[in-house]
Structure formats: structure tokens, C-alpha cells
Homo-oligomer: A and B are copies of this chain.
Amino acid sequence: MIFVILHLAMSEKLNNPSCATCGARQKSVFCSLNSDQLVQMDEHKGCDFYKKGETIFKEGAIARGLFCVNKGKIKLSRMGPSGKEQIVRFAKGGDIIGYNSMLSRRPLSATASCLEDSAVCFIPSQQFFALIKKDPNFSLKILELTAKNWDDASRLITDMAQKTTKQRLAEMLLWLKETFGLDEDNCIDVKLSREEIANMVGTATEAVIRLLADLKKENLIALEGKKIKMLDIHGLVMLADLID
């Protein structure tokens, strides 16, 4: 019996890294919580590991809490009417996902799946709402986040409506660079299939392939296997923004 209890305790400790020492928290919306609040979080949260390709939550489900990404890379996508996936956002260490559904009181509007092995904490909705009710600064942080999300989304709507596929591709490459950064080789530090890129840009896989080849011809990028090397960021910006 003792052993069982010990085992559970150890397992829990392993599975629940403390928020107080979580590196990802520093750059998250939880960065300015005090130690009391952190203890509360630790007591109620859970942490799970997901393998590449696994789903964290599905579009249409009811959210019982939010997820905070400890480590890994996650794509958020929705199903279009014809069954085609549209990638609407990415999340990485320090980002939270699934919160919007609780705030909007609507079912989850996107599916979250892992682009690589990931560690993700779960924070029950009560905890989240308790923070909002008691800590106006936290409310403001979340408001800033949702406001920026909306701002970005409405810019994206304009882009989708008005830009050519090639411009949108250039823009998405720049977005990926901002989100995931570049590795030592100047390549975008995330592994996506051509189909996934197409599902961001909102086009067909073949179009992405052809347009990537075009960008390569124009010396804006280089293709090294699956990796995309950014050769001329300024050129990509000019292309994406239609600056001559």
C-alpha cells in the first residue's frame, strides 16, 4: 500500500512539473502570477505527454479547461465544409490553447494536434475563471491576447481575400519564421508536409510545390530536403506585401 502511494506521488511529481520552475511560464500569460496563485495552479493542474500526430482536443467538443504547452509544437486547424483542413494557428512552449472556447461559451472551434512530441498541462476551467475574477491584471493579459488574436485574424482575412497564392505562401513562410524561428542553418525550425503548408495557405499541395520552386528560382529561399532555408527575408516581405 505504501508502495502504491509512493509510486503515485512520484509519478505525479514527474507528470506535474511545478509551475514555479516552468521555463515556459516566463513567456506565457502566467508570467506575473504570485506564489500563492502558482501553488493553486500546481494543485489543480495535470500534465500529459503526446506523441507526434496525436490529438489533444477535437473541434466541436466542449472545453473543460485550457491547455498550456510546456514543450513541443502544436497545430490548430478546422475542417472546411468540403473536408479540407485549414490550419489557423500554431502553439509552442508557453502558449495556451483551448481557452477561447471557454471565454466564448462555444464548443471548441479547432482541433489541436502535435507536430512533434509534446508535453502539455491541463488547467481546469474553474481555476482559469478564478484567476480572471480575482486578478484584473491577469484579465488584462488574456484580453490583450484575445484582442491580438482577433487583430491578427482580421488581417489574415484581408490577405486571404486579396493576395495571390504566391504572396500568401511568402507570408506564411514569414509567419512560420516568426513563430518557430530559424535553426543554425537559417532553416525554418518546424517540420511540415507540403500538404500542411497548403492547408495554411489555403491552396492545393501542388500549388505549394510549384510556388516553392518559383521562390527558389528567385533566390528567396533554398530547399534542403524538407527544410526551407530563408535566403532573402526582405525579398519575401516585399513579395508578400506587394511592395515594388
Binding site for B on A (CB under 8 A): 78, 80-82, 84, 86, 88-89, 100-101, 103-106, 109-110, 132-134, 136, 139-140, 142-144, 146-151, 153-163, 167, 201-203, 241-243
Number of copies: 2
Judging by beta carbons under 8 Å apart, are A104 and B154 in contact? no
Give Cα distance in the complex from A100 to B147, angstroms. Answer: 6
Q: How far, in Å, is A135 (CB) from chain B's closest CB?
A: 9
For residue A154, which residues in chain B have a CB less than 8 angstroms away from its CB?
78, 88-89, 109-110, 153
Judging by beta carbons under 8 Å apart, are A153 and B157 in contact? yes
Q: How far, in Å, is A157 (CB) from chain B's closest CB?
A: 5
Give Cα distance in the complex from A80 to B89, angstroms. Answer: 21
Q: How far, in Å, is A58 (CB) from chain B's closest CB?
A: 16
Judging by beta carbons under 8 Å apart, are B139 and A150 in contact? no
Beyond A132-B143, A143-B146, A157-B157, list 8 extra A-B contacts (CB 8 Å): A82-B242, A86-B162, A88-B154, A132-B136, A132-B140, A142-B143, A153-B156, A160-B161
Given contact pairs A109-B155, A144-B104, A147-B146, A160 touches B202 in the complex (Cβ within 8 A) = yes
Q: How far, in Å, is A95 (CB) from chain B's closest CB?
A: 15
Given contact pairs A100-B150, A147-B146, A150-B100, A81 touches B162 in the complex (Cβ within 8 A) = yes
Q: Closest chain B residue to A135 by CB distance? A: B136
Give Cα distance in the complex from A35 to B155, angstroms. Answer: 38
From A84, A104, A163, A167, residue with most partner B Cβ within 10 Å: A104
Give Cα distance in the complex from A8 to B163, angstroms. Answer: 51
Give Cα distance in the complex from A160 to B154, angstroms. Answer: 12
Give Cα distance in the complex from A151 to B149, angstroms. Answer: 10
